[in-house]
Amino acid sequence: MVIAIGGEHSITAGIVDVYRRASAEPFTVIQIDAHCDLRHEYKGSIYDHACVMRRIADMGLPILPFGIRSICKEEPDLIKHNSIKVILARQIAQDPNWIAQALASISTEQVFITIDFRWN
Ligand SMILES: [Mn+2]
C-alpha cells in the first residue's frame, strides 16, 4: 500500500505514474475533490493542480471523480469522450443510489484514492 501526503494536488500525477509503472495490476484512480481537475492547461502550466486528473487520464488510467461541485467549460467534452463517470456532490446529497452507481463504474480490482482538500 502506498500512502503519500503532499502540500498540493499536482503531486498526485507523479505518484500515480510511478505506481502505474511499478504495478502489475490495472487500477482506477478515485478522486475525491470539489473540482474535476481535467483542464489540459491552467495558468500556463500543464502540471497545475487544475490539470492533475487530465495528466492521469492521459496515462490511460480509468478515473472516477467524486464529490465534484463545479466543472469548467472544457471538461464536459473530455468527460464524454473518455466515458468518465462523474459523481457530483449534489448527486451524493440527493440520490441514494450514488454508491451503487460509483461502484458499478469501477472496472478494476485495484484502486488508487486521491483526496484533495485543504483547511484554512
Ligand atoms: Mn484537485
Domain with 101 in it: what CATH number?
3.40.800.10
Ligand 1 centre and the CA of 4: distance in Å? Answer: 15
**Is 2 domain-assigned?**
no
**Is 94 domain-assigned?**
yes
| pLDDT of res. 2 | 83
Q: What is the pLDDT of residues 45-55, one digit of tens each?
A: 999 999 999 99
- pTM for this model (two decimals): 0.93
Ligand 1 centre and the CA of 116: distance in Å? Answer: 5
**Is 6 domain-assigned?**
no
- Beta strand residue intervals within 13-118, DSSP E: 27-32, 63-68, 87-88, 110-115
Q: Note down the domain range covering 44.
A: 11-115
Number of domains within the chain: 1
Ligand 1 centre and the CA of 50: distance in Å? Answer: 6
**Is 3 domain-assigned?**
no
**Is 66 domain-assigned?**
yes
Ligand 1 centre and the CA of 36: distance in Å? Answer: 7
**Is 120 domain-assigned?**
no
**Is 38 domain-assigned?**
yes
Q: What is the pLDDT of residues 76-119, one digit of tens each?
A: 999 999 999 999 999 999 999 999 999 999 999 999 999 998 77
